[in-house]
Amino acid sequence: MDKFIKQIKLDFSQWGKVLNIDNFKLVLIDDLNNHNYKKENSRLIFCVCPDDINRLQERDTIENVLTQSFNGEFHLGNLAAYPIGGISGMIAASHHVPNQGNLIFFVSPHIGLTLNEKVEYGSILRPGQKDLTFVCGAMMGFLYQLKEYENIEDLKERMIFSSEDPTRSIMYNEFITNYFKELSDILKEKDINQQIILLVKLNYEIVMKKLKEMIIKLSEHYKGNYSIIGGLTVNTVDKDYFILKEHFFR
């Protein structure tokens, strides 16, 4: 068995279905096609992190598979996949649907995984670089900020909205204001990998909850069909894996 698949299943199999790129095509692309979601009648809406690791041509990526299958994408998300484009972004994307067809929402925060002498979540070696870097940088930065303070309330008091860094401000405030207990539980974990795994799962829950709230309001403007694919993208040195949490049609 692929060593990455083995590790991801060990850590996430109770949370979602672990897929490599070939299985992603079989399970999800085929399912979309069978429901008449095709290139000529569908528009992708990506709620993902802008990190270029997710779409570099040097790597086999989940996002490139989707883009090639459905002819481009509209981007709604920003740092850590937070849907900063909002309802206005959704409405704009709904106006771009070809042939009065369908919307496909792809909702996926991401996490890096390196397997050398040890298991290391939260960082990978990017193409053309010599040292490991954080993935997702926004979530890893948030985790280390949490660990710097004696308690989460201290960090909350220091969080000031910045128009020069809007997504970070909104996203961090969302975590700290509404998920105090979950963050406290994460900090109680002794193992850094477990802290990262718990945080990226929470990242997904926050992003998906916010997106579903927005879709309810989108229904006032868009009456067509849509599908939501939700999960986590795991970036490794040369390819992606996907942990499918949910996929449904409406």
Residue 126 maps to which CATH number?
Answer: 3.40.1050
Give the pLDDT score at 129.
94
Tell me what the mean pLDDT of segment 147-160 comes to.
Answer: 73
Read off the tokens for 87: 């309802």
Give the pLDDT score at 113.
98
Reported as type and span, the H/E element at residue 229 is: strand 225-235
* Res 153 pLDDT > 80: no
CA 77, chain centre distance (Å): 9
> How do 42-48 and 119-121 pair as beta strands?
unpaired
Tokens 């990526």 found at: 61
Tokens 């204001």 found at: 177
* Res 1 pLDDT > 90: no
Q: Which domain holds residue 41?
A: 3-249
- The single-letter code of the amino acid at 63 is E
Interior/surface letters 217-241, b for 16+ CB within 10 angstroms, e for the rest: ebeeebeebbbbbbbbbbbbbeebb
Q: Closest Cα to residue 186, out of 169, 201, 204? A: 201
What region, left, alpha or beta, does residue 228 occupy, with left being phi > 0 and alpha being psi -120 to 50 degrees?
beta
Which residues, including other chains, have CB under 8 Å from residue 21's CB and lie 6 or more apart?
60, 62, 65, 239, 240, 241, 242
pLDDT tens, residue by residue, 60-116: 999 999 999 998 899 999 999 999 999 999 999 999 999 889 999 999 999 999 999
Tell me what the mean pLDDT of segment 29-56 comes to.
Answer: 96
Tell me what the mean pLDDT of segment 110-126 comes to.
Answer: 96
Average of per-residue pLDDT values in the chain = 93
Tell me what the mean pLDDT of segment 158-175 comes to.
Answer: 82
Which residues, including other chains, have CB under 8 Å from residue 198's CB and lie 6 or more apart?
182, 185, 186, 189
pLDDT band at 185 (very low <50, low <70, confident <90, very high): very high
Read off the tokens for 98: 């070809």
Tell me what the mean pLDDT of segment 135-154 comes to.
Answer: 86
**Burial degree of 121 (CB within 10 A; 0-12, 13-18, 19+):** buried
DSSP letter at 116 equals S
Four-point Cα dihedral 164, 166, 170, 175, nearest 10: -70
pLDDT band at 164 (very low <50, low <70, confident <90, very high): confident
Give the pLDDT score at 72.
85
What region, left, alpha or beta, does residue 46 occupy, with left being phi > 0 and alpha being psi -120 to 50 degrees?
beta
* Res 50 pLDDT > 90: yes
Q: How many domains does the chain have?
A: 1
> How do 73-75 and 42-48 pair as beta strands?
parallel
pLDDT band at 166 (very low <50, low <70, confident <90, very high): confident
Q: What are phi and psi of 71, to 5 degrees?
A: 65, 60
Residue with more model confidence, 174 or 205: 205
pLDDT band at 150 (very low <50, low <70, confident <90, very high): low
Percent of the chain at pLDDT > 90 equals: 82
Give the pLDDT score at 71.
86
